[in-house]
Amino acid sequence: MTDQNQNPETAHDVPEQGVETNGTHEDTTIAGEHEVEDTSPEARIAALEAEVAELKDRWVRSEAEAQNIRNRAKRDVDDARQYAIQKFAKDVVEAADNIQRGIASLPAKAEGEDSLVAKLREGFESTERSFLGILERNGITREDPTGKPFDANLHQAMAEQPSDEHEPGHVMQAWTPAWLLKGRLLKAAMVIVAKSTPNAEKATTGLDTSA
């Protein structure tokens, strides 16, 4: 009876080897997982600061792109508002050119001229002044290039002629004026450009060979 009572106590007092081994393995595994997940406060702060910097950079880029889109949209709206009448304006300035051609076709003003011709000229000129005033109020202006340097952005050269009265490369005659819509070219002027005369070219390029 005594041996039977001691055996359970012995079994209870001495832990099994397998239990100790399992406990040790479990503790090691938990400790390993804890070491992987745990980070120092400094490392965590650095990671958060890097994330904030990246988010801030993305926000700045996004805001800049959005501002560019707003600027382009505003510019497109402004252009559409200002130049929506461009096609109509081209037709209108053609009518203005026709009025000018009508005035130019009349005889030059002279004393004792026929009263009908005088009244016709006055009517044309009055109509032209009124018409030009309406165009100017709507941003359409006329520019006479006569005597000015030739500008390929505003003028269309129809011919080139030698001239002693005009500097080479200057407009000596304009068949039609240049028309602008709020500073933008609407219709180029048709012009004749002056060039050097043969005598002038010889005077500037000739050599004295008499010596």
Cβ 192 vs Cβ 160: under 8 Å: yes
Cβ 196 vs Cβ 162: under 8 Å: yes
pLDDT band at 48 (very low <50, low <70, confident <90, very high): confident
CA separation (Å) from 46 to 22, 42, 202?
39, 6, 81
The C-alpha atoms of residue 29 and residue 43 are separated, in whole angstroms, by 24
pTM: 0.56
The C-alpha atoms of residue 177 and residue 101 are separated, in whole angstroms, by 11
Question: How high is the pLDDT of residue 205?
Answer: 52
Stated as kind and residue range, the H or E segment containing 31 is helix 17-37
The C-alpha atoms of residue 65 and residue 69 are separated, in whole angstroms, by 6
Stated as kind and residue range, the H or E segment containing 179 is strand 178-181
Cβ 200 vs Cβ 189: under 8 Å: no
Q: Name the amino acid, one letter, at 11.
A: A
Strand 155-162 relative to strand 178-181, pairing:
unpaired
For residues 6-11, give the mean pLDDT. 47
pLDDT at 22 over 60: no
Question: How high is the pLDDT of residue 137?
Answer: 92
To the nearest whole percent, how much of the chain has pLDDT over 70? 75
Contacts of 164 (CB under 8 A, 6+ apart): 197, 200
The whole-chain average pLDDT of the chain stands at: 79
Residue 178, judged by CB atoms within 10 A of its CB (0-12, 13-18, 19+), counts as: buried
CA 56 to chain centre: 29
The C-alpha atoms of residue 190 and residue 180 are separated, in whole angstroms, by 14
Higher pLDDT, 109 or 95: 95
For residues 25-46, give the mean pLDDT. 60
Q: Name the amino acid, one letter, at 111.
A: E
